Structure 1
Amino acid sequence: MIWLRPERTGRGPRPAHSRDSIAAAAIGIADAEGLDAVSMRRVAAALGAGTMSLYNYVPKKEHLLDLMLDAAVAEYRFPAEPSGDVRADLADLAHQQLAIFRRHPWLPGLVLSRPGIGPNALRYTDHFLAVTAATGLPGGTRMEAMAMFNGFLCQFAQYEQTAAAGAKWQAEMVGYLTQAAMSGQYPHLAQAFATAGRPADPARVFDRSLDRVILAVLTPPGE
């Protein structure tokens, strides 16, 4: 784990680079070209360093991904203390998270595939637990709620990205689902389509869905 390795031993000359600068360079590449474009060679070139020298700071690619994830999580702005309004605090957290995902389209997939346990991720976890402490739910239940909360936000952000890829994809999806609903094989789907009305504004869809997720977070298991 990169978090178990000291960034520097305190001996010798001051390093030319830092984990923060390396993560920032990697994030710049990922934001511009996607996560697949990130490599130790590309990051080293962006920093004006030799590729092999970078391994002195980040021993392997997985460590680089962990540093990128944690650097992105540093963009949250947490209050000193929760407001006491759990719904409002969770809504603020969700809107911040969606904004971060929009700035870094590669991030939702990374959040879903790698555990966020760096210093900034732990601050996020601690803040979530502080916000939800007023529910009286056990810590383990609140950790499970956080996973559900984060999963919803990752999936919503990824859907946004897919939808933004083009109107053609959306038109094809609507046409396909309409055809399926009219086939008679999916009566409940047909009924839902018949009562759905016009497509809702995406921002309103997000807020309504978020309200449901927050309600689930606040509801004790079994109720």
Structure 2
Amino acid sequence: MVRGDGSGAGGVDPQQLWQSPQQPRKGRKPAFSREAITAAAVALADAEGTDAVTMRRVASQVGAGVMSLYSYAPDKETLLRLMVDQVNGELSPPAPLTGDWRADLKAIAHAQRALMLRHPWLPAALFNRRWSLGPNTLAFVEHALAALRPTALDGGAKLEVFSLITGFVAGLVADEIAQAALADSPDRAAADARYLASVAADGHHPELAEALSAPTRPLTPDATFARLLDRMVDGLDAGS
């Protein structure tokens, strides 16, 4: 998501983080790099979640001493921001723009969803502001703004639309992951269904009862995402 704040990344100024990456000060050239450290952290988060990403675990993965990692990432928050930017590199190169801004926005959203499903920790990292506009993220933001060039939106509105799309995708993917976990607990799902049925039948929630009695739509994650994305993007006003 794009939000303007001057908090920086962890305890590191973003200009220092992205434009002047730290290197070990002295000693032998290490057998690892900031990219390798970040990749190890991403692999841990993919497998076990971000709680598993500790400096000690990452150091063990790359065969380094814990203290040596602080030359590359002074704290976990900075490491998480490095992780977000590294996985955003998977969005490059983006699909060529067609000039149809709605179609292009939908392609951007689908690419973001695929990325977040590959890295299930990413939606929460974005919502928790564990992001910074590193080079990979900047490249994708630039692509999204270019997709909106055919509209009459000003620069600020374009950033708002991109933030809206990213938040929409992150929210749906987070729910998709939660629903997949719920599917592994059929008793819980059945209990929830019984509860909704009883609420719909109690006479106090007529609007909900009508909604629940409506014809069902395809409920696969892909179909649900595409349907809701169509509703949101097709309803955007590009004139202001």
Q: Deviation of residue 17 (structure 1)?
A: 2.6
Distance in 2 (CA, whole Å) between partners of 1:144 and 1:121 is 16
Match of 2:3 in 1: none
In structure 2, the partner of 1:7 is 21
- Give the corresponding residue for 2:232: 213
Q: Which secondary structure does the structure 2 equivalent of 1:165 belong to?
A: helix
Show the counterpart of 2:84: 69
Q: 2:63 aligned with 1:48, yes or no?
A: yes
Q: Identify the residue that residue 138 of structure 1 maps to in structure 2.
A: 154
Offset of 1:23 from its aligned partner? 0.8
Matches within 5 A, 1:24-63: 24-63=39-78
TM superposition shift of 1:204 = 1.7
Give the corresponding residue for 2:207. Answer: 188
Contact 1:39 1:61 in 2 (8 A): yes
Identical-pair percentage: 42
Query: What amino acid is aligned across from residue 107 of structure 1 in structure 2?
Result: L
How far apart, in 1, do the equivalents of 2:78 and 2:221 lie? 35
Query: Structure 1 residues 166-175 or 123-132, which shifts more?
Result: 166-175
Q: How far apart are 1:72 and its partner, in Å?
A: 0.9
Q: Aligned with 2:90: secondary structure?
A: coil
* Pairwise CA RMSD: 2.1
The 8 Å contact of residues 135 and 218 in structure 1, kept in 2 or not, is answered as: no
Q: Report the alpha carbon displacement of residue 119 of structure 1 after superposing the two structures with TM.
A: 1.3
Instruction: Give the TM-score of the pair, scaled to structure 1.
Output: 0.90
- Of 151, 176, 195, 2:195 maps to 176
Structure 2 residue identity aligned to 1:125 = V
2:152, 2:239 within 8 Å by CA — same for their partners in 1? Answer: no
- Report the more deviating stretch, 77-86 or 153-162: 77-86
Report if aligned partners of 2:152, 2:238 keep a CA contact under 8 Å in 1. no
Amino acid at match of 2:77: E
- CA 116–56 in structure 1, closer or farther in 2 if over 3 Å, else same: closer
Query: Is the CA contact (8 Å cut-off) linking 1:129 and 1:142 kept in structure 2?
Result: yes
Query: Which of these residues, 156, 160, 167, is aligned with residue 172 of structure 2?
Result: 156
Structure 1 unpaired stretches of 5+: none
Q: 1:29-58 deviations in whole A, cap 9, x for unaligned?
A: 111111111100000000000111111111
Aligned to 2:5: none
For residue 200 of structure 1, report the CA deviation from its aligned partner.
Answer: 3.0
Moved over 6 A (4+): none
Query: Does the 8 Å contact 2:218/2:224 carry over to 1?
Result: no
Query: What's the CA shift for 1:88?
Result: 2.2
Alignment size in residue pairs? 221
Whole-Å separation in 1 of the counterparts to 2:29 and 2:126:
32
Higher RCO, 1 vs 2 (CA within 8 Å, ≥6 residues apart)? 2
Aligned equivalent of 2:216:
197
**Cα deviation code 1:3-22 (max 9, x no counterpart):** 32222469755444322111
The gaps in structure 2 that reach 5 residues or longer are 1-8
Shift of 1:149: 0.6
In the alignment, the residues of structure 2 paired with residue 46 and residue 10 of structure 1 have an alpha-carbon distance, to the nearest angstrom, of: 19
